[in-house]
Amino acid sequence: MDPTTFVLFGATGDLAKRKIYPALYNLFVRGKLPQPFSVIGLGRREWSDEFFRASVEQSLRKFSRSEANDAGLLHRFLQAFRYSVLDIGREEDYRKLLELVERREAELRMPPNRLFYLSVGPEYFETIAANIQSSGLGSANGWKRLVIEKPFGHDLASARELNRKLSESFAEEEIYRIDHYLGKPVVQRLESLQQANPVIQAMWTNRYISNVQITAAESVGVEERAGYYDHVGALRDMFQNHMLQLLMMTAIHLPHESSPEKVRFKKKRVMEALLPVLKEDVRLSVVRGQYAAGSIGGKPVVGYTSEPGIAPDSANDTFIAARLLIENNDWRGVPFYIRTGKRMKEKSTRIVVEFKEPVKQAATGKENGIAPNLLVIEIGPDESIKLRLNTKDAGPDGGFKPVQVELFESPKDSPEAYENLIGDALNGNATFFAHWDEVELSWQWVQPVLDAFAENLVPLHKYEAGSYGPAESAALLAQDGNCWWFDQEEPQSKSESEKGERYAYHANY
Ligand SMILES: NC(=O)C1=CN([C@@H]2O[C@H](COP(=O)(O)OP(=O)(O)OC[C@H]3O[C@@H](n4cnc5c(N)ncnc54)[C@H](OP(=O)(O)O)[C@@H]3O)[C@@H](O)[C@H]2O)C=CC1
Ligand SMILES: O=C1O[C@H](COP(=O)(O)O)[C@@H](O)[C@H](O)[C@H]1O
């Protein structure tokens, strides 16, 4: 790994404390930081180097998974940290920054490889990128990389404009767009799941797969982010980025030998094949919801419009469910159902691949207990990949029962998403960052949905906090004869007898 200067805009902010410093420390503890390594933190606050280091140390004690009480280790880690006051709009501050960066590079005898991490609001991205270029920070004789946080644009037009501006200062291969779902350990394993298992690879088509369900349910509400969330909603906050990335990662087919370029090319192909939805038809395949009062874990919680900072008449979406279709030879006819929402029954991010049921038809006689084979990919908070198969009890009257094959269970110290992603960015590996093509194609799919919401063409369904979302979400799948797996409520599709079977299967789970 090349010696690197890590220039952090927003070093005094929440994300830096909660995610970035713990990730850097974990990388350091695992011996995965480059040597030498220099960190320059930036913010408007008039902090000294010592105050900055104390603040980083405090955040490690609070948020790091690695023990931060080895004084020697901590001291060596913090040695790398310097702070400089910088107002994003003030050009002279960038010149001062350049002097500091160069001084540290000389002290540490390191080449000018610079990673600029923008942990600030998106309204600052363009200005920072332009100032990096004009100040000379970005034109030294080493590499430069720009890591940016979401959101990338507010809609298709603003995303395109932002990309145009950034590309005046950074080439596409220098831009690392963070989508922290791509850093989650299980998501990073999807690639090798196919590559290492020809059986799964062979079955990864519409010939064997009935439908795919991608859920990111959260039990938290809007928390302290009313100002941000009420302008964004579940569609922009989760669906346009994380959920569509999960769809791409699930739908790609990878050759045995894959490279970052191949992965991204295949993801782009998936997005290009996604059947566009017309604004007038959005309501047929998209369900929009907003939580009402209810209870979570036995405690009463208020509805969205009673949350502090939310307008009492807000029509913002806190829940989305959608059916998407991929028009290519591999996936034609296989619905991909996606749902995400706040204040749902439990925190759970998972992908369920439901296989078709030829097995069921082939099994003669008793069908009692038979359920479709499933591949269940738990992304968080549990991390595992399990394949559910059916087996038959011995003896003439034996019924079928599900068994599960564990393909992956996360080790206790599996790295956190930010650790994976920052490590990759330092290594120059862009596989798990969102390429502009993917971002643009995602916004392209989402734009008619945004338009339909804005024109109120899609009803806003209230759902009780602590539920699995509005009933219309289950009805969306029921139209195709499907139901969401692992919801504890009774599935609302298929015949009564099949419901019974599925219920039994859930109970056995
Ligand atoms: N917090 C989170 O969990 C997540 C955040 N994000 C994204 O990360 C980014 C940062 O979020 P977060 O840390 O929560 O935000 P905060 O509001 O906590 O921090 C903002 C940071 O930006 C700095 N800043 C703001 N204005 C200026 C300015 N004019 N000049 C210099 N520095 C400035 C602040 O420094 P100072 O006050 O010292 O000037 C502060 O360090 C946002 O884009 C957010 O959307 C993404 C995912 C999750
Ligand atoms: O990006 C975001 O993600 C979180 C959920 O992330 P997870 O890793 O806990 O699943 C979400 O709460 C937040 O609203 C959104 O901005």
Predicted local confidence at residue 112, as pLDDT: 97
pLDDT at 360 over 60: no
Residue 15 CB–ligand 1 contact under 6 Å: yes
Predicted local confidence at residue 384, as pLDDT: 93
Predicted local confidence at residue 198, as pLDDT: 87
Predicted local confidence at residue 410, as pLDDT: 77
20: nearest Cα among 120, 161, 135, 106? 120
Percentage above 70 pLDDT, the chain: 93
Element (H, E) at 201: helix 198-203
If one residue of 177, 236, 238 were mutated to test the ligand 2 pocket, choosing by the most ligand atoms within 8 A of its CB, it would be: 238
Q: Hey, whose CA ends up nearest to atom 20 of ligand 1?
A: 13
Q: Hey, whose CA ends up nearest to atom 15 of ligand 2?
A: 237
pLDDT at 491 over 50: no
Q: Which residues lie below 8 Å from residue 264, measured CB to CB, with a gap of 6+?
A: 430, 431, 435, 437, 438
Residue 183 CB–ligand 1 contact under 6 Å: no
Percentage above 90 pLDDT, the chain: 81
Q: Hey, whose CA ends up nearest to atom 33 of ligand 1?
A: 43
Q: Hey, whose CA ends up nearest to atom 8 of ligand 2?
A: 181
Mean pLDDT, residues 26-34 = 96
39: nearest Cα among 131, 144, 141, 116? 116
Predicted local confidence at residue 364, as pLDDT: 46
Token pair, residue 334, equals: 């296989």
Ligand 1 midpoint to CA 120 (Å): 4
- pLDDT tens-digit series, residues 229-287: 999 999 999 999 999 999 999 999 877 777 888 999 999 999 999 999 999 999 999 99
> Residue 172 annotated as binding?
no
Is the ipTM higher than 0.95? The answer is: yes
Q: What angle do CA 457, 458, 463 make, to 5 degrees?
A: 155
pLDDT at 99 over 80: yes
Predicted local confidence at residue 192, as pLDDT: 85
Predicted local confidence at residue 52, as pLDDT: 98
> Residue 320 annotated as binding?
no
> DSSP E strands: which ranges in 243-394?
286-292, 294-296, 299-301, 319-324, 336-341, 348-355, 374-380, 384-392
Ligand 2 midpoint to CA 181 (Å): 9
Residue 66 CB–ligand 1 contact under 6 Å: no
Residue 237 CB–ligand 2 contact under 6 Å: yes
Q: What atom of ligand 2 comes closest to residue 349's alpha carbon?
A: 10
Residue 86 CB–ligand 1 contact under 6 Å: yes
Predicted local confidence at residue 361, as pLDDT: 52
Q: What atom of ligand 1 comes closest to residue 11's alpha carbon?
A: 41
pLDDT at 137 over 70: yes
Fold of 182-360+367-415+435-479: Dihydrodipicolinate Reductase; domain 2 (3.30.360)
Tokens 């219920």 found at: 503
Predicted local confidence at residue 358, as pLDDT: 58
SS3 143: coil
> Residue 16 annotated as binding?
yes
Ligand 2 midpoint to CA 222 (Å): 11
- pLDDT tens-digit series, residues 410-468: 777 788 999 999 999 999 999 999 999 999 999 999 999 999 999 999 999 999 999 99
Ligand 2 midpoint to CA 375 (Å): 24
Mean pLDDT, residues 141-151 = 95
Q: DSSP secondary-structure letter at 279? A: G
> Residue 87 annotated as binding?
yes
State the chain's mean pLDDT as an integer.
91
Q: Hey, whose CA ends up nearest to atom 16 of ligand 2?
A: 237
Predicted local confidence at residue 42, as pLDDT: 98
Residue 12 CB–ligand 1 contact under 6 Å: yes
Higher pLDDT, 345 or 67: 345
**Beta-strand relationship, 319-324 and 286-292:** antiparallel
pLDDT at 68 over 80: no
Residue 44 CB–ligand 1 contact under 6 Å: yes
Cβ-based burial of 358 (10 A; exposed 0-12, middle 13-18, buried ≥19): exposed
For the chain, which residues make up each domain, given as ranges? 4-149, 182-360+367-415+435-479
Q: Hey, whose CA ends up nearest to atom 22 of ligand 1?
A: 10
pTM: 0.93
Q: Is 242 a catalytic residue?
A: yes
> Residue 88 annotated as binding?
yes
> Residue 330 annotated as binding?
no
- pLDDT tens-digit series, residues 312-338: 999 999 999 999 999 999 999 999 999
Mean pLDDT, residues 38-48 = 98
Predicted local confidence at residue 367, as pLDDT: 53
Active-site choice (242, 256, 461, 506): 242
CB 93 within 8 A of CB 86: yes
Q: How far apart are CA 427 and CA 424, in angstroms?
A: 5
CATH class of 4-149: alpha beta
